[in-house]
Amino acid sequence: MTASTDVSKTQAPAFQYVLSIVFSACYATLTILYGALSVPLALLSKHRRHRIIISWTHLVCYLAKIICGVKYRVVGLENIEQVKRPVVVLSKHQSAWETFFLQGVFRPSSTILKKELLRIPFFGWGLAALQPIAIDRSKPREALRQVKTQGLDRLSQNINLILFPEGTRVPVGKRGTYARSGADIAIKAKKTIVPVAHNAGMYWGSGKNILKRRGTIVIVIGPPISYDSGDSKTLTRRVEDWIESTQLKIYNGEI
């Protein structure tokens, strides 16, 4: 970890905590509204339902920006403009922010999440409307089979697939073990891989930490990686090398 990542550990002004609480209240209200809305929307087609519910994620990012000062800058949008959809997105995972933001960039999309989240009133209802792949982490082998089976199904429905190859949130400046399941799916479905790097964890607290720090998240969308440019091990290593080297450039202010 470089000196530039230390912002995630420094004490924030007291007023920033107040703003974070205000944001949390607005977020909870939005979640209840969209959760309730998702029930009658079940009568619509999957794509139309997704198009409506996805505005929830846009509003969450917008409110974080205007209330808490969590801005963002996207680099590399041109890398996906000419890519045939759907694609397999493999992203760094540091916070909840990127799970909201990426669904707007790669819409419609399906993400991997813990099945327990779907049981939360309103919040879980809204998530379910976005067609996630809900897994039981206590059964890793079964979960892996489910991700592959349902991941291929989502792609066949022209829905982008967003995966976090490290499997869970990783603290700023740290690296987890990259799983090959995303590359396996891309190869079997013959879909392009799009890697994503960012520093959202520096500004968006995880877990019980509700603090949202004022600053600009840098999110970089990498060059597409063809499914036929190697086996799953080779593709995963290419994704990992690109993401981790790009993370360092973001932390060092080079991007």
Whole-number pLDDT of residue 3: 41
Average pLDDT of the residues in 114-141: 86
* 132 occurs within a structural domain: yes
The pLDDT-based confidence of 125 (bands split at 50, 70, 90) is confident
* 78 occurs within a structural domain: yes
Average pLDDT of the residues in 84-98: 96
* 216 occurs within a structural domain: yes
- Contact (CB, 8 A) for 193 and 225: yes
CATH number for position 117: 3.40.1130
* 6 occurs within a structural domain: no
pLDDT digits (tens, 9 = 90+) for 145-161: 999 999 999 999 999 99
Whole-number pLDDT of residue 207: 74
Domain that holds residue 133: 11-251
Q: Alpha helix locations (H) across 42-139?
A: 46-68, 78-81, 97-105, 123-129
Answer whether residue 2 shows pLDDT above 70: no
Quote the CA–CA distance of 249 and 228 in Å, as a whole number: 28
φ/ψ (deg, to 5) at 228:
-100, 20
Quote the CA–CA distance of 255 and 220 in Å, as a whole number: 9
Average pLDDT of the chain to the nearest whole number:
91
Q: How many folded domains does the chain comprise?
A: 1
Who wins on pLDDT, 1 or 180? 180
